[in-house]
Amino acid sequence: MDEEFPYYLQNIANLGGHEDRAWHIAWNPTKSLLASCSADKSVKLFTYNHDGEGNLNFTLATSIPTGHLKTVRAVAWSPSGRTLATASFDSNIGIWEQELDDDGNPGEWECASLLEGHETECKSVAYSSSGNLLASCSRDKTVWVWEVQPDSDFECMGVLMEHTQDVKCVAWHPTEEILASGSYDDTIKLYVDDPMDDWFCCATLTGHASTVWSISWSPNGKYLASASDDKTVRIWRRIGEHEFKCVLVLEGHERSVYSVSWGIGKSNQEIDSSLGWIASASGDGVIRVWDLSENSSTEPMIPSAKLIARLPTAHGVHDINSVVWCPRKGHEDLLATSGDDGMVKVWRIQGT
């Protein structure tokens, strides 16, 4: 008999169509669209809406063949929701926008720009909260920061060569222009822009015993969560302008944790100490959700984490590659996952 958890994950949608593993998903921040990308070199966009009876229906809106020569490993939406970036093993970043037809209606998704420069596979891409900057990373050990300019022009602002091995993921702070990267070298690095000079690495977070696969900032920007091949999720607290300290290690997964996502959560929005919910997904096929809160009565700097939901075999026997909370207001209880079965699944977290 499973242990009792206060919440469970209800399966809302199972979206097939990809012909190979689905690596990554991204929720459009302004529109009802969910993007997924795959080793089949395509991106699929799913649209969702409420029917009359309180159900959320997901349908395939379009499949973009992309033209990437290899796996599409990651997708990211700009904050405006009008642009989509793709990161491919062919070493390029694609920038996609929807063309307007003669009547001004949105039509096909076209490649507005192709960012070349990485020497080997691109692993991740992300827009800053302002939408003015784009970061990309690769097995070539570098992180590139691009400035987004009008007419889909991109200017490279910096090539950061601080990691000693492949860079697996990049993630921007929710409000400030601070970039975090996770690497095969087991570290997390943080970068900021020096107005007089260049982008530089301002901090290195060590502690994980193996590759850092995924990073997610807390909604309030004071914490960072990282998922690692060492089967743990670590929580780092910002203790100075560019100083972070590991304050919590979340264990329980039995294989590499490939993805972590920190959402607002829904239970305690009135309570100041609530830090939100962390969802993690692993090669063990399990999705875990923790409720994080700051415990001001005891040690003020150490948050506490409580496991509130656990779903095994979310994608059957297959690895789960990505888990992401929906960022849109009114949908904070939605979670999307993608797996080696090529499926994209949507879950709603419900109280038991």
Partner 1 sequence: MSGEIFNPNPTVFRSSTKSHSPRRLLAAKKSLWINEYEPSQLVQVLDEDEEEAIDQDEIFDLIKNIYDPEHPNTLEELHVVSAPQIDIAENRVKVEFTPTVPHCGMSTLIGLSIRVRLIRSLPTRFKLDIVVKPGSHQSEHAVNKQLNDKERVAAALENPALVKTVEDCLTGRA
Give the footprint of partner 1 on this chain (CB under 8 A). Answer: 20-21, 39, 70-71, 73, 89, 120-121, 123, 139, 166, 168, 184, 210-211, 229, 255-256, 258, 283, 317-319
The C-alpha atoms of residue 334 and residue 13 are separated, in whole angstroms, by 11
Q: Which is nearer to partner 1, 73 or 238 (CB)?
A: 73
Q: Which is nearer to partner 1, 308 or 314 (CB)?
A: 314
Report, in Å, the least distance between residue 159 CB and partner 1: 21
What is the SS3 assignment for 283? coil
Report, in Å, the least distance between residue 312 CB and partner 1: 12
Report, in Å, the least distance between residue 229 CB and partner 1: 8
Q: Which is nearer to partner 1, 12 or 72 (CB)?
A: 72
**Do the Cβ atoms of 322 and 260 come closer than 8 Å?**
no
Report, in Å, the least distance between residue 142 CB and partner 1: 16
Using a 10 angstrom Cβ sphere, with 0-12 exposed, 13-18 middle and 19 or more buried, the burial of residue 101 is exposed
Q: Please provide residue 70's backbone torsions phi and psi, each rounded to the nearest 5 degrees.
A: -140, -175
Q: Which is nearer to partner 1, 229 or 333 (CB)?
A: 229
Least Cα distance to 30 among 107, 102, 127 occurs for 127
Report, in Å, the least distance between residue 115 CB and partner 1: 19
Q: Which is nearer to partner 1, 206 or 352 (CB)?
A: 206
Q: Which is nearer to partner 1, 167 or 250 (CB)?
A: 167
What distances in angstroms separate CA 284 from CA 17, 48, 133, 320, 321, one per listed residue?
23, 29, 35, 8, 11
Cβ within 8 Å of residue 52, ≥6 positions away? none
Matching residue, tokens 């063309």:
99
Q: Which is nearer to partner 1, 78 or 259 (CB)?
A: 259
**Do the Cβ atoms of 46 and 344 come closer than 8 Å?**
yes
Least Cα distance to 69 among 55, 85, 90, 49 occurs for 90
The C-alpha atoms of residue 216 and residue 169 are separated, in whole angstroms, by 10
Report, in Å, the least distance between residue 216 CB and partner 1: 18
The C-alpha atoms of residue 234 and residue 250 are separated, in whole angstroms, by 6
Report, in Å, the least distance between residue 70 CB and partner 1: 5
What is the SS3 assignment for 121? coil
Report, in Å, the least distance between residue 193 CB and partner 1: 29
**Do the Cβ atoms of 165 and 184 come closer than 8 Å?**
yes
Q: Which is nearer to partner 1, 55 or 165 (CB)?
A: 165
The C-alpha atoms of residue 153 and residue 156 are separated, in whole angstroms, by 10
Report, in Å, the least distance between residue 230 CB and partner 1: 11
Q: Which is nearer to partner 1, 186 or 332 (CB)?
A: 186
**Do the Cβ atoms of 167 and 180 come closer than 8 Å?**
no
The C-alpha atoms of residue 231 and residue 322 are separated, in whole angstroms, by 15
